[in-house]
A and B are shown apart, each in its own frame.
Chain A
Amino acid sequence: MSHVAEITRSLINEQSVMQFSKSKPWLKSLRSDGINAFIKDGLPDTNIENWKYTNLNQLNGVTGVRSPKVVVNKNQISWLLNEVETNQLVFVNGYFQEYLSKIIDVGQGIRIAPLCDELVNSDFIHNYLGKIGSTTGNPLFALNTAFIEDGCSIVVEDCKSVKPLEVIYISNGSNATCHHPRNIIVARNNAEINIIERHIGIGDEVYVSNGATEILAEDYSTINHYRVFDDAVNGINLSSVRAVVKDYSYYNSFVLSTGGRLNRCEINVACAGERANTSLSGVYIARDKQHMDHTTSIEHLVPNTTSVENYRGALDGSARGVFQGSIVVAEGADGTDGRMSNKNLLLSPKAEVNAKPQLEIYADDVQCAHGCTTGELDEEALFYLRSRGISEKNARAILVEGFLNEAFSGIQEQTILNVFHKKIRDWMVI
């Protein structure tokens, strides 16, 4: 048996699924669909095209045991948005922590709650949960589905959320356990919401956070989804987003990955409504032996939809960066406009980058393009800055920042932009 297959076995802990004995029948059946799909596919190995560059051997030693509920001190949390008032949700090892969270004045039409409450109180969430993403062919999403218990649930009706929502996921590793936070974000017709999501880790033990998020942007809605992966040194963060964008709606995702030993951030978006628009952008900065994998897929299913994708990476030490992007234009989806760009900087002789920007097009009246580069810092630009009395370290930092900034064009809010700039600068001076 291969290594990965062995790990799969240890992850299938049906005992854990059985624990949810009080659940409603629909939820039970959703979970068992998840575990069955996962048992069928198993953990993906590198023979699977989408996992060619990321070996889940790194999960060796990880068990299917759920991470325990732990108490975290309030001063261990720092919020990214200090200048503006936000609604705040905190999850520790996948469990909602009320004493750390703060939901103030959400306003009419906005429903923010921990998923565990939604699952107990009403069948309202039944309309969305498990309906947006599919477990077939997505083993990690399936695994998450098998263990649906808690996470963040946001449903916005016909209004604009006044305050941004900041969600923090804290992983406090012990004995290589896993947690599977499940989130759901729904913007009903004409709704608009800004969400900032941050993943952090405490301690230096191994943990696996296998999050999954289902996103639905209904007609004329906007979802701005900003995420920061700031995991602890030995943290493994696997996340999958499944989004469906309907008529005249906009899904805007930005991802900044800096932490963790292994980070796989997967985003699949379906532009399913006329004039749907998607923007995916991201920055990955890695050093030492970090491995960062950003895999995205945008499907244009109906005519006249657009997408823009822009990822930048800077890799130092023996870090490895992976970018796999795919634009799929279905038959009949005429008038599609899809653009993808991925640029990588190698800052050390041992850093490595693997990129696979794909186009798969079945309609003729389309405009699709992609560009991809890898290389090192421009010697001449470096020399120019040095000749003006800037130290080598600073000069490099200025150039790297300038290079990465190009991926920020999708961020509208200045306060959020400032946060990301600061994160990158902090990374540079370490």
Chain B
Amino acid sequence: MVAVKETLDQVQTVEKYKFGFVTDIEVDQAPKGLNEDIIRFISKKKDEPSWLLDWRLKAYEHWLGMEEPDWAKVGYPKIDYQDAFYYSAPKSGDDGPETLDDVDPEILETYKKLGIPLHEQEVLAGVKNVAVDAVFDSVSVATTFKEALSKEGIIFCPISEAVKEYPELVRKYLGSVVPYSDNFFATLNSAVFTDGSFVYIPKGVDCPMELSTYFRINASNTGQFERTLIIADEGSKVSYLEGCTAPMRDENQLHAAVVELVLLDDADIKYSTVQNWYPGDENGVGGIYNFVTKRAACRGKNSKVSWTQVETGSAITWKYPSCILQGDNSVGEFYSVAITNNCQQADTGTKMIHLGKNTSSKIIAKGISAGRSQSTYRGLVKMMPKAEEARNYTQCDSLLIGKKCGAHTVPYIESRNQSAKVEHEATTSKIADDQLFYCRQRGISEEDAVALIVNGFCRDVLQELPMEFAVEAQKLVGISLEGSVG
């Protein structure tokens, strides 16, 4: 009964928020542009302590002196950072469709193929009238979780809440993996982040369920600058899912998130992402610029971090989930599938920095390019002088579909330890005609055959995904490549 009451309370607050949102819309939206006042405004809105505001301002000041990186193999018109809202409700939340009938049938078709139930389809499409319902659902789910999670002492809440509730934890770890001065987009994020998740898994706790940001992103919709912080204390274990299946029909929109993972002795984090932001239309108009900094610090001995990502969306992806393997015997893994079609561009990979003894890392990256897209794997494996007996194995394979696309591999291998072993291999090829022929002569349509072969090509990575995601990801693979053959 307690849980039910909690849910009802939550709904009440949601209702209030909803009204507040509508009436106070002018107030809730900061003016266009980026300056110190905007940052103060965001911080005030979030009711943040002064140290966090100082940190944001420091980041902003640093950002002003930075140059946008241009080394990635992606091309896009210069972004005007003053021509954007840094605190606002997005257009889609405001003039979104009234009912499901108003939603673009193309999107609905996609959802159907993904196997997302009708109710969830409405949520994903951002239908206004059902939003409360959806939020209701989402919150009640969250509350049920909260109950079970708090029993274990696990903290799972928005980062703004964590700043207030657990300031010492946030202050200790925020920016400790990705410092405010890290890179252009991470620094921008540090200055203006508005939302995000905070997770703390206490000592020795094996998180009983998978944590997910899937719904949160849909509910808040504004998350252009999210900041996620996950701390796994000694001997703890967690699997975290991040789903970005919300399509945003909009002009090019910047999404610059930062994810920080901290692992102490014997901790284990599995971080899975299925990214399907709006990729723009077939002519490359619109789509999300996904410039994300993700990094895990294996501070403790025997800690293990595993990044799994399926990147099918975004007009441009610029993302290098990294592992700093500091603790002895720590393990870093990176499994990635990046699919680009039409005019998409992806420059993605990982960094494995081996500092401690007996550290090991494994990189499996699969890139599939179709249409006129360009896909690049860019990765760094660095063995520092103290990384005795460290190991790395890297495999990156690219598959090309069509005459106009490109697939590139840019690995950096730096070894400063004699006993460290690094192995790297990469291949690039197209779908073999005999494979395609085999499928076709068994009555499988060309498009299905391609999806089947590509799924096989990605199997090593897809099987690393948690069950719920694996099914969705497999279907996504097929959908992303639609129209790329024939």
Contact = CB atoms under 8 A, between A and B. Distances in A.
Do chains A and B interact in one complex? yes
A415 interface: no
Interface stretch (A73-81, A98-106, A358-366): A358-366
B409 A358 contact: yes
A373 interface: yes
Contact of B418 (A354, A355, A359, A376): A376
B413 A351 contact: no
Contact of B422 (A356, A364, A374): A374
B416 A360 contact: no
B239 interface: no
A332 interface: yes
A347 interface: yes
A360 B400 CA distance: 12
Contact of B413 (A362, A367, A372): A372
Interface string A380-411: 00000000000000000000000000000000
A373 B411 contact: no
Interface residues of A, number: 35
Interface residues of B, number: 35
B402 A364 contact: yes
Contact of A366 (B385, B414, B429): B429
A374 B403 contact: no
A373 B424 contact: yes
B71 to A, nearest CB: 7
Contacts of B424: 355, 357, 370-373
A369 B404 CA distance: 20
A130 to B, nearest CB: 31
B415 A361 contact: no
B299 to A, nearest CB: 25
A347 B415 CA distance: 12
Main secondary structure of the interface of B (DSSP, over half): strand
A361 B421 contact: no
A358 B408 CA distance: 7
Nearest to A338: B428
B428 A368 contact: yes
A370 B426 contact: yes
Contacts of B425: 369-372
A344 B421 CA distance: 10
B418 A331 contact: no
A346 B418 contact: yes
B210 to A, nearest CB: 36
B407 to A, nearest CB: 5
Interface in B415-439: 415-430
Interface in B372-427: 383, 385, 398, 400-427
Contact of B400 (A349, A361, A373): A361
Nearest to A352: B416
Nearest to A324: B412
A83 interface: no
A353 interface: yes
Nearest to B409: A359
Greatest chain A CB density within 10 A among B422, B427, B428, B430 is at: B428
Main secondary structure of the interface of A (DSSP, over half): strand
Contact of A374 (B398, B404, B415): B415
A368 B415 contact: no
Nearest to A47: B71
A152 B1 CA distance: 93
A55 to B, nearest CB: 14
B2 to A, nearest CB: 59
Given A369-B425, A371-B425, A347 B418 contact: yes
Nearest to B405: A364
B409 to A, nearest CB: 4
Contact of A369 (B401, B422, B426): B426
A376 B419 contact: yes
A109 interface: no
A108 interface: no
A253 B385 CA distance: 34
Contacts of B419: 376
B163 to A, nearest CB: 38
Interface in A117-138: none
A375 interface: yes
Contacts of B416: 352
A373 B428 contact: no
Contacts of B421: 373-376
Nearest to A321: B415
A351 B383 CA distance: 12
A362 B420 CA distance: 34
B434 to A, nearest CB: 14
Nearest to A315: B418
Given A349-B385, A359-B409, A364 B418 contact: no
B408 A351 contact: no
Contacts of A354: 412-415
Contacts of B409: 357-360, 370
A426 interface: no
A366 B400 contact: yes
Contacts of A372: 411, 413, 422-425
A346 B415 CA distance: 9
A365 B430 contact: yes
Given A353-B413, A361-B398, A370-B425, 15 more contacts: A348-B418, A351-B418, A355-B412, A361-B407, A363-B403, A364-B403, A366-B428, A367-B428, A368-B427, A372-B425, A373-B423, A373-B424, A375-B420, A376-B419, A376-B421
- Top 3 nearest A-B pairs (CB, nearest first) are A364-B400, A375-B421, A355-B413
11 contacts: A349-B418, A352-B414, A356-B413, A358-B408, A360-B408, A361-B400, A364-B405, A366-B428, A366-B429, A370-B426, A376-B418
